[in-house]
Amino acid sequence: MSTSTLAGSPAETTAPAYQWRWIVLGTVLVAEIMDLVDATIVNIAAPSIRAELGGSEAAMQWMLTGYTLAFAIGLITFGRLGDLVGRRRLFLIGAVGFTVSSAICGLATSPEMLIGSRIAQGLLGAVMIPQGFAILKAVFPPQEIGKAFSLFGPVMGLSAVAGPIIAGVLISANWFDAGWRMIFFINVPIGALALFGALRYMPEVKTEGATRLDTLGVLLVSLASGLLIYPLVQGRELGWPAWSIAMLVSSVAVFALFGWRERRSGAPVIDPSLFRSRGYVAGLGVITSFFLAMSGFMLVFNLFTQLGLHYSPLKAGVAMVPFSLGIAIGAPLSGGFLAPRLGRLALQLGIVVMTLAMAGVWFTLHLQGDATTIWNLVPATLACGIGAGMVFAPLFDIILASIDDQAAGSASGLLTAMQQYGGAIGVAVIGTIFFQLLPEHQFLGATKSATLVAVGLFVVSLLVTFALPRRAREETVAH
């Protein structure tokens, strides 16, 4: 068994297409599914976990947030590190570690053991995930890379939505009498599949001339990410104490210091060429604002179904099926038909559909009032999923197509980090608005107000898209 080595260079674009590129794509998508499902799957399982392992409310919160925190802190650094030591190598390390830590999560006998293994999961996910985009940029020819990237958005969207559904099914099925532990054990065969694909078919991809990593820059961006994410995931639960505000303010200062360091470093953590690409910079803004709105709405929707409508975890998960079905409809519609013909306009149409669907959620709640059921919301949530699928399909192609292979590792790490930041900010902001309004307006009124906030954020995301190139390959990056 042997693997080839691909070095990032302009010559790659004229080289023969890599023979096993579609299997490599499947391997990368399997890794993405593992990460995204595990980021949300514990939300439904938390009560079952606490019933068996015990632990305080703070411990339960750490089981949920430890993963997100570790993942967000490591993304930018490991995305860049793949340029230096090889992206296949880091993908393998991350996949092995993620699979092993998943098994340890399933074997946990105490809250502390589960928290530690969840943090390890998040960190090793940050090692694995940024390498995928960079590898695909190297193995796919320009005429096919759009088709490859068009699969990422739908898979990511469906995986994130599917987490609660999968958790509800696995816990209710209670296979092998494992209960909640099965949500982690299921990663073992999936991780083994990803490992086999990487070992057998994935080539090594390195960046020529990359020799070292700025240690101080790594420390600064990791510290800034931690100062941002930790209070966002903990502050709302605790009523925004003074220390959480201080950490958020400090994160801005440390990010500024990191930017100052990057401009003076001979080996920057983030490739400076990224910020010369208009499409990439605008894409960061689109993906941040889009996931800010979507993650915040998903939180409120789950709270409304479980606490407002008193649905069981399984029924609350099933309530997400129309959204998932909509993604499955919208993604091929956009990726296979609209995006190749309309370019950026296909993405904008998706956001318009999502915005109108969100308004439909508000109108349904307003019309039905306290008699609202999840069935009343099916048309709006189905349309919302269709809009999301229309956005996901062309989004990553448009953002990453103008980035050359030498910057792909850094680009994918930063892109995924901004998605995480946007999601965390959305949960914090929209979640805080929801809970602030809850005592006076009850679940119906609070959900309506939070939905209007999401509508406004989608409008912002739509406006930012006008800074994107009209076509995925409209611009190139000069070096």
CA quadruple 366, 369, 375, 381: dihedral sign: positive
DSSP H or E run through 422: helix 408-465
Distance CA 405, CA 313 (A): 43
Distance CA 122, CA 250 (A): 23
Q: Coil, helix or strand for 470?
A: coil
Confidence (pTM): 0.77
Question: CB within 8 A of 355, min separation 6: which ones?
Answer: 387, 455, 458, 459, 462
Superfamily of domain 271-479: MFS general substrate transporter like domains (1.20.1250.20)
CB 421 within 8 A of CB 401: no
Angle at the Cα of 238 from the Cα atoms of 237 and 240, rounded to 5 degrees: 105
Q: How many CB atoms lie within 10 A of CB 395?
A: 29
pLDDT in 10s for each residue of the chain, 479 residues: 445 555 544 444 455 778 888 999 999 988 888 887 777 777 677 777 888 888 776 677 777 778 878 888 888 888 888 877 888 999 999 999 999 999 999 999 998 899 999 999 999 999 998 888 788 888 888 778 777 777 776 777 677 667 767 777 777 777 777 788 888 898 899 999 999 999 999 988 776 665 677 888 889 988 998 898 888 877 877 788 999 999 999 999 999 999 898 888 777 888 777 888 878 888 889 988 998 898 888 878 877 887 788 877 677 777 878 888 888 888 888 877 888 888 889 999 999 999 999 999 999 998 988 788 888 889 999 999 999 888 877 887 777 766 766 666 677 778 878 887 888 788 778 888 888 888 777 888 889 999 999 999 999 999 999 988 877 655 444 33
Distance CA 396, CA 393 (A): 7
| CATH number for the domain formed by residue range(s) 9-212 | 1.20.1250.20
Report pLDDT digits (tens) over 123-157. 999 999 888 878 888 888 877 877 777 777 677 76
